[in-house]
Structure 1
Amino acid sequence: MEINSKIKRRLALNKIKPYQPGKPIWELQSELDLDQVVKLASNENPIGPSPKAVEVLQHSLSTLNRYPDAHATRLKEVLAAQLSLSTEQFIITNGADELITLISETYLEPDDEIIVLSPSFSEYQFGANLMGANIVSIPLDNRFQINIHTILSSVTDHTKLVYVCSPNNPTGTYLSSNDLEALLLVLPEHVLLVLDAAYSHFATNADYTDGLEFVRSGHQLIVLQTFSKIYGLAGIRVGFGAAPSSIIASITSVKEPFNVNTLAQYAAAAAIEDIDHVNQSKLVNTSGRKQLYEAFSRLGLSYIESMANFVFVKIGHGAKRVYERLLEGGVIVRHGDAWEMPEYLRVSVGTQEENAKFIKQLELIKSKAEYRG
């Protein structure tokens, strides 16, 4: 017989909603007895992991009896050389998600404020709620663009962190280099800007910046990046932050000593030097975005031009039904409910073949008039 616990949990937990990941392939196959499933739901790299990373992993298994390097020294050295920063300007984490939590633990007291955009990545709120801080949510404009004046007008004496995801998840829109510089110049000294650049490698517009140039010039911001996207290492969870060394030192003080496993460290160090894989991933993504744009235009669906590896498309009132029908056809996407945008779907860019399967299923659903656009 199970006994209900009398231990009182923290009140902050009442505000926390567990993250809802995209449905995994195996789960849909099991539910619907499907042989083939295309997953376009979690913004993963469709061409797979870096071959150089896989090779390193295969040769590193015999070292697993040893604890990992608590400082991720080799990976920091590779990052420093590639990105023209010092090793003291990096922190290596168990994916960018852990870094968001560490930033919250480092800087937030109860009743401090963070500013987030809406719709955007939900983990920023998770960290704030964990620490009992308040969340100030400001909407993107009517074209889903990031307006720095709206951000600045929301800053108060209680603001500690401003989160900007660029390119933004789920919209794919971004903050230009000029706007980012203007924001950094005006933000008060007591506010840290957190630029989540997880999708930066997919951006193709000339005025985009991943923010690292501003870290190099000494501005007060931290740039988040991940090896889960362009490098195809989502399954081993490794990311990093780049910032002035004083900020990195503060965040490191709350980091667990062995937070990133040995295999993740080795694979990431190899992947960042795998230029051929990075370039091929970019080509597949750019052509895949175009493939999706053309299909949406042909079907009369409005979408947001994206600088990321996904496209946010407006289906209309029947979007949930379309999402369910796509699942039945062996295609997994993300429904906009996750961002309180129920008329939208977020579609990750796959290979040409995966995109074609999705488009075929969408055309079939529309031909049966199962939704109103």
Structure 2
Amino acid sequence: MILKIPEKLLSIAPYEPGKPIDEIEREYGIQKSVKLASNENPLGPSPLAVEAVKQSLSEMHRYPDGSWHRLRQKIAEKFKVDPETVIIGNGSDDIIALLCHGFLSTNDNAVMPFPSFLMYDISVRAAGATPVRVPLDNLAIDLDAVAEAVDSNTRMVFLTNPNNPTASHFSSNDFQRFIKKIPQDLLVVVDEAYIEFVRDPDTFNALDNPLSDPRIVSLRTFSKVYGLAGFRVGYGIMDKSVANILHRVRQPFNVNSLAQVAAAAAMDDVDFLNTSIRVMHQGVDFLRAELSAMGLTTHPTQTNFFLVDVAQDARQVFQALLRQGIIVRAMNAYGFDTCLRVNAGTESENRAFIQALKKVLAGGSPKE
């Protein structure tokens, strides 16, 4: 069969998610591996979320709530906004795609930092528009350069705060200077997937004063601090006019029933949320201290992960750690050839990583 493939799709490199633990264990012949590669919550999901899902299983013959009423109300109440300004998605990347399909077309462009979340680039290209990548400045998003990259064809700007994969952040003052340079007729999408982990009070938080500027779309997720990555639930808070467009292009049942139930219950589990944040902070501090004691450079972070420079080819160190049962992320594909990205795990997982890395580095440059 000969198919005519749209040109806009041929330019897209497929997103490559990390392999699941069981596949990696089969491939490398390891057991009881430690995964510190995907910035997940090592404590698992909230017990309240687990119990709520169990109680809802008997209703799975019914379609999901296509308006996400309960979850939408809880989010609206938390941030004191109109429920009509809240959009729920199958992960925040679902909302990113909806924004691109709703507001971008051929001849348009969207400006974004690079490296950052790869789904910005992919979603923009899938909509037929052009991504404009703005290089980071010493691992941080260069807001001045982002503003300068905006031209008459720009319809959207993506910002990640804190940024992934570099864990850097920008302040409220930095953002206020930036937004004054941005035209009134485009959207500024602020992806705040890791905002709950932030410790610097000066960090810009779009929901400190939600909907104060109709250009700003704030994206959040239940995948990280709430420990619900497998359920795929994200949400956005945006001007009603923007939300109305997304309703026109989204699927009618884009978030499944169990995901909605889990997310709503997780929002009630404040103790679990606070414990997760505390454990992640303790884990990051422990890991960075241990790595610094080993003579390795760790980069500043406002998230549950950070970059560590291992002073040699990160891919080889990554492979050697895999054979020790430790799963992290090599950053070669992002241009950081000697850096690993590591997220904090439980205390035992963190210690296992440190022990394995010491063993790998003591052996000299690891071989494939």
For normalisation by structure 2, the TM-score amounts to 0.97
Partner Cα separation in structure 1 for residue 274 and residue 31 of structure 2: 31
Moved more, 334-343 or 91-100: 334-343
Quick one: which amino acid aligns to residue 52 of structure 2? V
Quick one: which amino acid aligns to residue 113 of structure 2? L
* Alignment equivalent of 2:203, drawn from 193, 205, 208: 208
In the other structure, the counterpart of 1:81 is 77
In the other structure, the counterpart of 1:221 is 216
In the other structure, the counterpart of 2:34 is 38
Mapping 1:127-276, distance limit 5 Å: 127-142=123-138, 144-276=139-271
CA RMSD of aligned residues (A): 1.3
* Alignment equivalent of 1:60, drawn from 49, 56, 59: 56
Question: How many corresponding residue pairs?
Answer: 367
In the other structure, the counterpart of 1:12 is 8
Quick one: which amino acid aligns to residue 100 of structure 1? I
Residue 352 of structure 1: CA displacement? 1.2
Structure 1: 5+ residue stretches without partners: none
Moved more, 148-157 or 362-371: 362-371
For normalisation by structure 1, the TM-score amounts to 0.96
Mapping 1:275-294, distance limit 5 Å: 275-294=270-289
In the other structure, the counterpart of 2:307 is 312
SS of 1:211's partner is coil
Partner Cα separation in structure 2 for residue 32 and residue 172 of structure 1: 29
In the other structure, the counterpart of 2:339 is 344
SS of 1:13's partner is helix
Quick one: which amino acid aligns to residue 28 of structure 1? I
Moved more, 55-64 or 14-23: 14-23
Q: Deviations over 1:57-110 (max 9, x none)?
A: 010001111101111011010001111111011000000111111111011111
Partner Cα separation in structure 2 for residue 155 and residue 195 of structure 1: 16
* Alignment equivalent of 1:301, drawn from 296, 301, 321: 296
Go from structure 1 to structure 2 and tell me whether the alpha carbon gap of 1:131 and 1:216 turns closer, same or farther (over 3 Å shift): closer
Structure 2: 5+ residue stretches without partners: none
SS of 1:272's partner is helix
Residue 371 of structure 1: CA displacement? 5.6
Mapping 1:21-32, distance limit 5 Å: 21-32=17-28
Quick one: which amino acid aligns to residue 208 of structure 2? E
In the other structure, the counterpart of 1:51 is 47
Partner Cα separation in structure 2 for residue 290 and residue 213 of structure 1: 26
* Alignment equivalent of 1:112, drawn from 94, 108, 119: 108
Partners of 1:23 and 1:41 within 8 A in 2: no
Partners of 2:92 and 2:219 within 8 A in 1: yes
